[in-house]
Chain A
Amino acid sequence: GQQVMQIPQYQHVQEGEDFTTYCNSSTTLSNIQWYKQRPGGHPVFLIQLVKSGEVKKQKRLTFQFGEAKKNSSLHITATQTTDVGTYFCASSSGGYQKVTFGTGTKLQVIP
């Protein structure tokens, strides 16, 4: 099955600094989804990208899908303490859209 790797595994930033997590695959992905999981919580869907080179924004969050559809990034501008959590990328494949999650990037924001 497909494997999706994320880097970095952990990131500590000062509040107000920017943060980026990267998602990489050795195979071409049909789509990429991003989820956020707060400490002690469950994954919450953020966004899905399907087109080559696609860029979407949600307030301070910018999501990008690579031209070759093998990588993706999530960038947070001016982090806030509410951004704390683990960010997962995921991708689906097959007729029934089996979703494979990445390894996740745990973000800690220091006030």
Chain B
Amino acid sequence: EAEVAQSPRYKITEKSQAVAFWCDPISGHATLYWYRQILGQGPELLVQFQDESVVDDSQLPKDRFSAERLKGVDSTLKIQPAELGDSAMYLCASSLVGQELGFGADTQYFGPGTRLTVL
């Protein structure tokens, strides 16, 4: 069964350092999502790509976070500089179409996540 791949699985860094996370969605999925999940809370959407274009980044702290999906396949999320409050699980998800299909939302498939600890 095809899965969303993410790396690294765990990352420990010191504040003010730069970190980068990578995501490879399920082959053929046009839509890619980056979520941040703080312990004990639900995932919060940071950025959504439709192919290589950003269609929603309203919750992305743009002063320190950036995301790209240059060829419309895999994606990188970067934080520079990292702050203590960035410690969380960063989840990547993908879906086939991502747009309203007339019968509800397209199913999202999540990767295993990257757990970031900022010291």
Q: Which of B43, B44, B98, B103 is the one whose CB lies under 8 Å from A50?
A: B103
Size band of the B side of the interface? Answer: 20 to 34
A106 to chain B, nearest CB (A): 8
Q: Cα distance A88–B44 when bound, in Å?
A: 12
Please tell me which one of the listed residues A42, A96, A104 contacts residue B42 in the complex, with CB atoms under 8 A apart.
Answer: A104
Q: In the bound complex, how far is the Cα of B115 from the Cα of A17, in angstroms? A: 34
Of B19-27, B80-88, B106-114, the segment with at least 4 beta carbons within 8 Å of chain A is: B106-114
Q: Which of A44, A48, A94, A98 contacts B110 (CB 8 A)?
A: A44
Option from B43, B48, B110 in Cβ contact (under 8 Å) with A96 = B48
Query: Which chain B residues have a beta carbon within 8 Å of chain A's beta carbons?
Result: 31, 33, 40-45, 48, 50, 55-56, 91, 98-100, 103-113
7 contacts between A and B (CB under 8 A): A31-B105, A42-B112, A92-B104, A96-B56, A96-B98, A99-B105, A99-B108
